Structure 1
Amino acid sequence: MFRLTITALAVTLASATLWPLPKQITTGSTTLPIPNGSFKFVGQSENDSDLAVKRYIPLIFPHSVDESGDALDIQVTIDDESSELQLDTDESYKLSIPESPTSDTPITITSKTQFGFMRALETLSQLVEFDFDAETYSIEGAPIDIEDSPRFPHRGVLVDSSRHFEPIQTLKNVVDSLAYAKLNVLHWHLVDSQSFPFDSNSYPLLGKMGSYSQEERYTPNDVSDLVEYARQRGVRVMVEIDTPGHAASWCEGYPEVCPSTTCTEPLNPSTNATFDLIEGLFKDLTGGEAKAGLFPETLMHLGGDEVNTDCWTNTDAVSDWMDEQGFDEDDTYAYFIARVQSIAHSMGREVIGWEEIWNHFGTSLDPSTIIHQWLPGSKVGPEVTEAGYRLIWSTDGVWYLDGLGVTWKDMYAAEPTEGIAEENFNLVLGGEGCMWGETADTSDIQQTIWPRLAAISERLWSPKNGTQDVEEAAPRFAEFRCHLNRRGIAAAPYDNEEARNAPGGPGGCLDQRRV
């Protein structure tokens, strides 16, 4: 038996197929049979953890077996099964698999929260193997002891439902896949210039007039259902309402919030109608208070990117108002950002903005603002964190999933803390792969996201030391793509030069000809 602490990676029998790699693992050399292909979980309550077990049993044991015998006991200890799912939720766990489990020395899972227990279930599921010749299940490398926790608390994917509408079932499928890679955030870019697919109770014409069609909309109940579905799988749903740019679709139902009918964005800063609408919409989304409403997630993304101020200066009513206030374009931009942030803060939300707001306003931003780095080649991270602001990392050209020429190896090699002083590492909350929707809908969303997002998941979950060798990670990465396929996730061939391409010819999951 030896200890693998991921400081000098040597893939063992037990860890050869684990993705992402755990923080620490101790393994042996015994093959542990699993009688009757079943586990008996003891100790978890009939709530989220029990639901997680019911989901995972058919994933762990997909093949029926004829053998008999008592199921292996798994003793479960969860300190707090009522904990909320937020940025600071503890996802750590310990998994111990003895060489010869008995009722006195069973397999054990211990965690602080039910969400840590869910992460342990995923690890356990990747350890169980099926022998097709013997038609038996087993675990290689027992005894196994794993102590695991994520490197970063914020690990996710952005899904854009404005450029193409994504049905709720499609989003649920994405949520399922995130949990398999220990990712915990669905960043929902809900609306944009092209469409407004959400039915706001306060401003119903937003969805009625701003959606692509009457069928391509989300009701409040749809949203609530998805958020709860995700929570039960340890995935936070963080909404983004991008303002003042990327908002032309708002004008279809409420033209008064736009500069003019012919020059529609950024939103009109000169009228209270704009901010009244934003406040009403935010109340629909948040319930007007912390940890409430359709999105109980305390982080709210307010965009703020790519603001072209020409419609302000070229519209007389807005330009005259700016002159009255003594504002130039940047002053007006700052006024808008500050006022919308204030609305979100009044509802108990911490706000995130794309990095342009930092580039324009720097430390004049509210100190609680979280900066989302995205511009190609951006080096804003060291500057942001040195000033005490928090950071999320998604640099375009590296972690943008719609960049189909970016390989998983490029994504794996990226490092969110690059250039940042070690004493400021705690200000890097994590990162996201961004799947912008111009060329993705239900027909290709999964293979656009997977398997490349798995490279990001290991970078955000696993310790930095020991996960730097791309070639050493390649066999596990290829196997994880097969793991996703076996669960019905349409992950594309793992070594495509152009992401989401179909296989180039006959072949197994690991040896497909790739194009």
Structure 2
Amino acid sequence: MNSPSSFNPSSLILAAFLLLSQLLLTTSRNLGLHQLNYVGADDSPTYIWPLPSQYTSGNQTLTVNPNLTLVTSGDGGGSRTVSEAFDRYKRIIFEHASLKFPSSGVDYDLNKLTILVHSDDEELQLGVDESYNLLVAARDAHSVIGEVTIEANSVYGALHGLETLSQLCAFDYGTKTVKLYNAPWYIQDKPRFEYRGLLLDTSRHYLPIEIMKQVIESMSYAKLNVLHWHIIDEQSFPLEVPSFPKLWKGAYTKWERYTIDDASEIVDFAKKRGINVMAEVDVPGHAESWGTGYPDLWPSSSCREPLDISKNFTFDLISGILSDMKKIFPFGLFHLGGDEVNTDCWTSTPHVQQWLHDHNMTAKDGYKYFVLRAQEIAISLNWTPVNWEETFNNFPTSLNPKTVVHNWLGAGVCPKAVARGFRCIYSNQGFWYLDHLDVPWESVYYTEPLEYISDASQQKLVLGGEVCMWGETADASDVQQTIWPRAAAAAERLWSAPESRSSRTTVLERLEYFRCLLTRRGVPAAPVRNFYARSPPIGPGSCYRQ
């Protein structure tokens, strides 16, 4: 991120304010004054979730013009991604009907938003620059209007800046205007981890495209940036694969399927919100549904997984699936599963047992062979393979060095993986599995992905983490309230610096406010403090105290 000294605004006053803000920011950090001014003018709270890296704020309240105009600059400022995001956030900020036709002659403080994006490169991959600066310069005797400026190196940083700006604004029911509290603001923000994910399982229950889009939209509010799409599993195979068109016979019904165009639409929708989509094809286990269309993939009709290791057809089909999916999913990571492989089916099926014997393999050797051969296919398509931790736990010295180890079973896996030079994604099921409904928000929030890793070079190998919404007990009727607000607790852990952790009371107030922000935006987030996630309120009360 460019420093304020290299910022190139059109106004000398704005440049001077940036320099002053930087000095104030440094002073406030030195004094330890790094917390938000939680209550603004008129007792209106200003909470930002996730908490920014660095910021200063004041005590002024500004009115925002419903006809707020966008001015763009820089190589990437004219991007359609930026203009469409600006339109989306205008609809969010000025949602009330009384703002649709603002009174003429009203002297608003904030009339213009300037977005400066330095790069026109819109490739979205792991490690893209998501940082941004946000300046809200208050109106005073020497300025005609207040200034709002977002500066970013990429369009994706600009999207995060728009989200933060939207959270600074609130509708005043007394004056029927949108106000921005605690100005002037100067925010320098960037994520702590480059991978901040949510797994969505569409095999155990099919999720319509519109529901998936709602989830993706809500992810952007919490600055999550990877949707891990667990598309298929042993229960159903809902995705169209042109190379092997009988595969989606494994869908629950002919109405619960995703076409190639559907999948591409989801990827494009996510990209416009700064979110990568990482697909998963879990092999060799969790694949019984594949055989509905191609029974030869089953070791036998009575023993249906893992996939039959003895047939070249199995690997030809995997290669076909991945080749077709490469046309849809441009993200550099691809998840190959590899978890919970019970090889009894191989050892109890005569022709598979004979194949293992002929190749001088035990069943465990066969498991390793299958995983490594699938990795080779993915790598040949220029994907980086991601595998669940069982692969690392069973044969760490054989995994391709490019492998990203995905922790889920418990603590201590990422420390072991990074010590061997592997990269790691943290998803400890005890805290970050959202289908574990009795895990309270505090356990999600206070979990540390870098636990037991003190070496700085090894810490860099932890890409980040992911909360997992497994679908056995969640479908379109309740998936959103199961995800939120607990996913937001993990989102702040992955975005904000660890020293930003404050008292439980302060965090709870901020999380409750964010939960209500979600509900105002149409996201059916469950109350924060109920013991059993996605439960309704237990009685009357404010949204902010449930």
Name the TM tier (shorter chain). over 0.9
**Which of 430, 434, 459 is matched with 1:397 structurally?**
430
Q: Determine if the alignment matches structure 1 residue 298 to structure 2 residue 324.
A: no
In structure 2, the partner of 1:136 is 177
Cα RMSD over matched residues?
1.7
Query: Which region of structure 1 is more displaced relative to structure 2, 132-141 or 315-324?
Result: 132-141
In structure 2, the partner of 1:51 is 84
TM-score where L is the length of structure 2: 0.89
CA contact (8 A) 1:59 1:125 kept: yes
Q: Distance in 2 between matches of 1:511 and 1:103?
A: 41
Q: Percent identity?
A: 46
User: What is the CA deviation profile of residues 29-77 of structure 1, one whole-angstrom value per residue up to 9, with x for unaligned ones?
Assistant: 111222x334211013151000101111010111233433466112211
SS of the counterpart of 2:170?
Answer: strand
Distance change in 2, residues 1:275/1:295 (3 Å): same
Q: Determine if the alignment matches structure 1 residue 12 to structure 2 residue 12.
A: no
Counterpart code for 1:136? T
User: What is the CA deviation profile of residues 125-175 of structure 1, one whole-angstrom value per residue up to 9, with x for unaligned ones?
Assistant: 000122111112221111110000000011011000000001111100000
Q: CA deviation at 1:363?
A: 2.5
SS of the counterpart of 1:365?
Answer: coil
Q: Determine if the alignment matches structure 1 residue 110 to structure 2 residue 151.
A: yes
**Which of 411, 418, 421 is matched with 1:388 structurally?**
421
Q: Determine if the alignment matches structure 1 residue 279 to structure 2 residue 308.
A: no
User: What is the CA deviation profile of residues 224-262 of structure 1, one whole-angstrom value per residue up to 9, with x for unaligned ones?
Assistant: 011001100111111000000000001111111221111
SS of the counterpart of 2:49?
Answer: coil
Q: Determine if the alignment matches structure 1 residue 412 to structure 2 residue 445.
A: yes
CA contact (8 A) 1:305 1:356 kept: yes
**Which of 378, 383, 390 is matched with 1:344 structurally?**
378
Q: Distance in 2 between matches of 1:374 and 1:509?
A: 33
Q: Distance in 1 between matches of 2:455 and 2:34?
A: 23
Q: How many residues align?
A: 503
**Which of 70, 79, 84 is matched with 1:41 structurally?**
70
Q: Determine if the alignment matches structure 1 residue 365 to structure 2 residue 399.
A: yes
Q: Distance in 1 between matches of 2:375 and 2:525?
A: 38
CA contact (8 A) 1:90 1:112 kept: yes
Counterpart code for 1:409? E
Q: Distance in 1 between matches of 2:462 and 2:223?
A: 18
**Which of 110, 121, 139 is matched with 1:100 structurally?**
139
In structure 2, the partner of 1:251 is 291
Counterpart code for 1:284? D
**Which of 72, 91, 95 is matched with 1:62 structurally?**
95
In structure 1, the partner of 2:280 is 240
Q: Distance in 1 between matches of 2:502 and 2:295?
A: 52
SS of the counterpart of 1:94?
Answer: strand
Alignment of 1:153-232 (within 5 A): 153-207=194-248, 209-232=249-272
In structure 1, the partner of 2:164 is 123
Counterpart code for 1:438? E
In structure 1, the partner of 2:8 is none
Q: Distance in 2 between matches of 1:390 and 1:363?
A: 14
Query: Which region of structure 1 is more displaced relative to structure 2, 80-89 or 300-309?
Result: 80-89
User: What is the CA deviation profile of residues 278-306 of structure 1, one whole-angstrom value per residue up to 9, with x for unaligned ones?
Assistant: 000111100xxxxxx11011100000000
Q: CA deviation at 1:511?
A: 2.7
In structure 2, the partner of 1:317 is 351
SS of the counterpart of 1:397?
Answer: helix
Structure 2: runs of 5+ lacking an equivalent: 1-20
CA contact (8 A) 1:9 1:467 kept: no
Post-superposition, which runs of at least 4 consecutive aligned residues in structure 1 deviate over 4 A?
4-9, 101-105
CA contact (8 A) 2:191 2:496 kept: yes
In structure 1, the partner of 2:362 is 328
SS of the counterpart of 2:434?
Answer: coil
